[in-house]
Chains A and B, each alone.
Chain A
Amino acid sequence: MSAELRVAARVVELVRELAGSSAEAEVMVRHDAEALTRFANSSIHQNVASATTGVRLRLHAEGRTTGGSTTVVDADGLRALVERTLAAARVSPVDAAWPGLAPPAGLHPSSPEVGSFDEMTARADPALRAARVRDFVDAAGGLETAGYCRTVYVSAAFANTAGQAVEGRSAEAAMDGIARLDGADGVARLAASRLSAIDGAQLGARAAAKARAAGTPAELPPGHYEVVLEPDAVKDLLENLATFGFNGKSWAQRQSFAELGKQQFDPSVTIVDEPLGSRGEPAAGLPFDDEGTPRRSLVLVRDGVTRAVTHDRTSAAQAGAESTGHASPYSRSWGPQAGNLRLEAAGLPSSSTGGTGSVAESARPMVARVARGLLITDLWYTRVLDPKSLVVTGLTRNGVWLIEDGEIVSAVGNLRFTQSYPQALGPGRVLGIGAESVLLPESWGRARYAAPALHLAGWNITGNASG
């Protein structure tokens, strides 16, 4: 039994002792060891690590529910957490939406064995991360560089008063960096479950190639453009679909476009949430959620038909469905969201010879099929104008090029767009999906997305550098 499971079991005991046998409680204990080496102007300028153990308790007693957490995990701290949460529950309003506790259930058979994480990644020291930064900087060939290399180890356990008790561990690594030349930036990113899979030199060379190709940008007028989105840009589509479209709470409250069983996407689109990993890549997250529900793979869109949305126990109860294992500390307020989306790659063959050119490998055959359009590397600062139609505004970043007759003819300055994401992916609008999905880290949190390049019939450009 892990230290985290012992703490979780102790908190359950305290709840029974202090609140009686009729109280319902769930306890999540997480130990997070996160280390991130950040570089800018081609040198390490921020280098941080933290080791945090936190306990989160949700208590339902006499029809009333409260949640609490602490980082003080000695005997007094745990008792204080239970006493504080119980006292708050007694004076809280009645919770009519309490969905009950997750019943005892084993982890999904495809869950990784506890202890199957990569030990080297979990214990990586600052020198290992610094070495990858050095490789990235050197491979950029003198271009100014910036970015980070990160390693994370998580050991966690869940227990509740209904008898559910599960534990798991994971490790992950990520690198994300840019190279800069005369105001033009190129980017390269990769997420992995092993730090050894992160090749700083390869990423640095790719970022530099993009930056070199992005110089002397032309300014294009607003309008509708055929586009090829590289995997980094596609990641943004997946993030917004997960947050607003496939969010079970938003769906239950009629704020989502999703309609189960309806052909809402092009038949070439299949989107799956893979919290347990796939394609030989171990999971970066835990095999259970914050309510103790075992995680599993979930098909959200199959052949263009919306099949499911993500639920925690609360949104599932509202919708008359079952939890899909997407509870988080914030899901009751913000809704349950998928954090491991994969847009299935297609069989569009690559004509490239590999290497680290300025165009992502899976995007190259698409570029060759565009009569006139844009190649877009990355999307930035995307914000939703209307959640129902998922109209999003944002900007391009880290490289845009004009394509004519299948050839890249010039770099283009960054552009503003205002575009409905479901509409862009709608029936007949997807002209091609790349053959290779790239595993990419979320810039802000720890979600990760497997994204191929996408060839879309239209993208609504609403502004350029002049406004």
Chain B
Amino acid sequence: MTHFDEAGAAVQAALDAGARYADARVMVRRTEAMSARDGDVEDISFDESAGIGVRALVGSGWGFYAVPDLSEPAARAAGRRAAQIAAASASVAGRPADLVPAGAGVASWASDCLIDPLGVSLATKGDLLVRATAAAKEAGADLAEANYSIWDTRKWFVSSDGHRIDQHIRECGAGVTASAFGDGEIQRRSWPSFRGQFGTRGWETVEELDLVGNAPRMAEEARALLTAPLCPSGETTLVLGGEQLALQIHESVGHAIELDRILGWEAAFAGTSWLDLDALGSLRYGSDLMNITIDPTFPGALGSFGFDDEGTPAAKRYAVRDGIWVGVLAGRDSAAVAGLDYAGSVRSDGWSRLPMVRMTNVGLEPGPHTLDEIIAATDDGVFMDVNRSWSIDDRRLNFQFGCEIGYEIKNGKLGRMLRNPTYTGIGPKFWQSMDMLSSETVAWGTPNCGKGQPGQIGHTGHPAAPARFTNVRVGVHG
């Protein structure tokens, strides 16, 4: 069963109502999530959402309307409504809107999936979370929590530029967290990431994590952190694990290269960017080791797809090459405003939300070293990994991250465990100090990237490996 007819009816209705361009997405999404605590299942939910979202361009004004009704009459009504809203936009009009070409028109794509996550029995999935939390509890956790989430999304996209694209995207992931309560503070360790690891893959993603096997170590480390020395304050050499570096990329590169932010479209909420388009192609973002790609074709990563939500085919592109800023995350309209000839990074988190510029897979290409080599080459420094907190200013320059665990590095070896490790810095200065980069890349998934008003949750991927940075301020405490 397809929904091209309903999407096509909506597009035609918008055109008939005066739109010069229109597109429509029918989306049907099933989600499943479970959480467990201290050896018991805590919550299970199954959600189904189906509807159509229509986007219309009248003059230079956009309008969007969405309804959870997949009948053709409802779709036509939604198309007309989108055009009416677009006409209202023209009353406070901006510069003329144009669209760069979006490529091929008729296509079908499905993500790779070895084990259908919705096909795995609930008993099997529940048993996994129960055993993982029980194992952490037995190993000394005061609180043990685990969760998994599954998204199964089918989309039918039609545009007045001739697109007819359907996609089937399956995503899932899981994680386990152990907390230890001390006198006035809580220490936490998470495996493999602070919110779990996620990918555009099947249940094999979760099976590979070995939650049960790693849970006891998380509990032991959380308890050990309660009595570990506080991360010292000062400027030092910082080695970051790949999981933390993934969020560093997300916050201080991924959001900064979003073209809608650069153009001021997010100024009031998400913010702008320190990047100026005049410097595209010449600005030094980081050291020569820094090669950042925008790559929705990365196999199995959480930001992978066949086509974005404007119908642009997935393609790999450099954002930073040899340390120089060379590319942005763009949509068809923002690219036209900026005078660029590519789009491909527009997505919405459901049929009821407007597609907007979002990260896909924004990651760091592998370096020449290993983590062991990086540690061995460091006389004095701090190693930190697994994110605990993140904060960055509205221009994506001034950041502060906290990690779950740290270790001092002395004479090329890991030393004492450190409690409450934090570091802070300014984006380009930080990235220009990167002098060693590992080849041990993992495509970390971020399933909770917030942006837009009304708010949207994006799924993004971040290939990253451990790396070393010099002269970084660490140990910022309240």
Q: Which of A's residues lie within 8 Å of B, judged by CB?
A: 34, 36-54, 65-73, 80-81, 84-85, 88, 91-93, 95-97, 125-127, 129-131, 133-134, 137, 144, 146-148, 150, 176-178, 180, 185, 187, 253-255, 329, 332-333, 380-389, 391-395, 397, 414, 416, 418-420, 443-445, 460, 462-463, 465-467
Contact = CB atoms under 8 A, between A and B. Distances in A.
Interface in B374-421: 388-394, 397-398, 400, 402, 420
A126 B44 contact: no
A412 B186 CA distance: 35
A381 B388 CA distance: 14
Given A66-B46, A68-B47, A467 B394 contact: no
Given A68-B46, A69-B45, A255-B186, A45 B122 contact: no
A146 B268 contact: yes
Contact of B42 (A97, A176, A443): A97
B41 interface: yes
11 contacts: A45-B94, A47-B88, A50-B67, A130-B88, A144-B267, A146-B264, A185-B267, A392-B478, A414-B398, A466-B426, A467-B429
B477 A34 contact: no
Contact of A48 (B91, B263, B454): B454
Contacts of B453: 36, 38, 148, 150, 443
A91 B354 CA distance: 37
Contact of A46 (B62, B267, B393): B62
B2 interface: no
A448 to B, nearest CB: 15
A418 B478 CA distance: 5
Contacts of A180: 267
A416 B93 CA distance: 36
Given A36-B454, A333-B43, A463-B424, A416 B92 contact: no
A388 B184 contact: yes
B268 A147 contact: yes
B276 to A, nearest CB: 12
B299 interface: no
Given A47-B89, A177-B268, A385-B422, A92 B391 contact: no
Nearest to A47: B89
A394 B85 CA distance: 37
Contacts of A95: 40-41
B397 to A, nearest CB: 8
A126 B42 contact: no
Nearest to B267: A146
A393 B122 contact: no
Contacts of A383: 389-391, 402
B46 A88 contact: yes
B391 A381 contact: yes
A52 B92 contact: no
Contacts of A52: 51, 66-68, 352
B88 A125 contact: yes
A310 B393 CA distance: 31
A466 B398 CA distance: 8
Nearest to A95: B41
A397 B394 contact: yes
Contacts of B181: 254-255, 388
Contacts of A148: 268-269, 453
Contact of B388 (A73, A176, A385): A385
A440 to B, nearest CB: 14
Contacts of B61: 44, 47
Contacts of B420: 385-386
B280 interface: no
A310 B184 CA distance: 21
B86 interface: yes
B63 A47 contact: yes
B93 A43 contact: yes
| Ranked 3 nearest A-B pairs via Cβ | A43-B94, A126-B88, A71-B68
A467 to B, nearest CB: 5
Q: How large is the interface on B (under 10, 10 to 19, 20 to 34, 35 or more residues)?
A: 35 or more
A92 B126 contact: yes
B264 A40 contact: yes
Contacts of B473: 467
Nearest to B53: A50
Contacts of A81: 48
A50 B476 contact: no
B253 interface: no
B425 interface: yes
B92 A43 contact: yes
B109 interface: no
A393 B268 contact: no
Contact of A40 (B267, B394, B477): B267
B227 interface: no
B384 to A, nearest CB: 14
Contact of B264 (A41, A395, A460): A41
Contacts of A177: 268
B108 interface: no
B143 A134 contact: no
Contact of B143 (A80, A93, A253, A329): A253
A271 B59 CA distance: 49
Contact of B48 (A67, A71, A387): A71
Contacts of A443: 269, 453
A50 B65 contact: yes
B49 A70 contact: yes
B400 to A, nearest CB: 5
A85 B477 CA distance: 47
A65 B42 CA distance: 9
B478 A91 contact: no
Contact of A91 (B47, B123, B390): B123
Given A395-B398, A416-B398, A66 B44 contact: yes
B252 interface: no
A383 to B, nearest CB: 4
A93 B478 contact: no
A71 B49 contact: yes
A381 B126 contact: no
B81 interface: yes
Nearest to A80: B48
B391 A126 contact: no
B88 A127 contact: yes
B64 A45 contact: no
A466 B94 CA distance: 35
B226 to A, nearest CB: 12
A462 B123 contact: no
B86 A47 contact: yes
B43 A67 contact: yes
Nearest to A72: B50
B281 interface: no
A463 B91 CA distance: 43
B101 interface: no
Interface string B52-88: 0100000001111111100000000000010011101
A416 B122 CA distance: 45
Contacts of A53: 68
A41 to B, nearest CB: 5
Interface string B167-198: 00000000000010100111000000000000
Contact of A463 (B88, B121, B476): B476
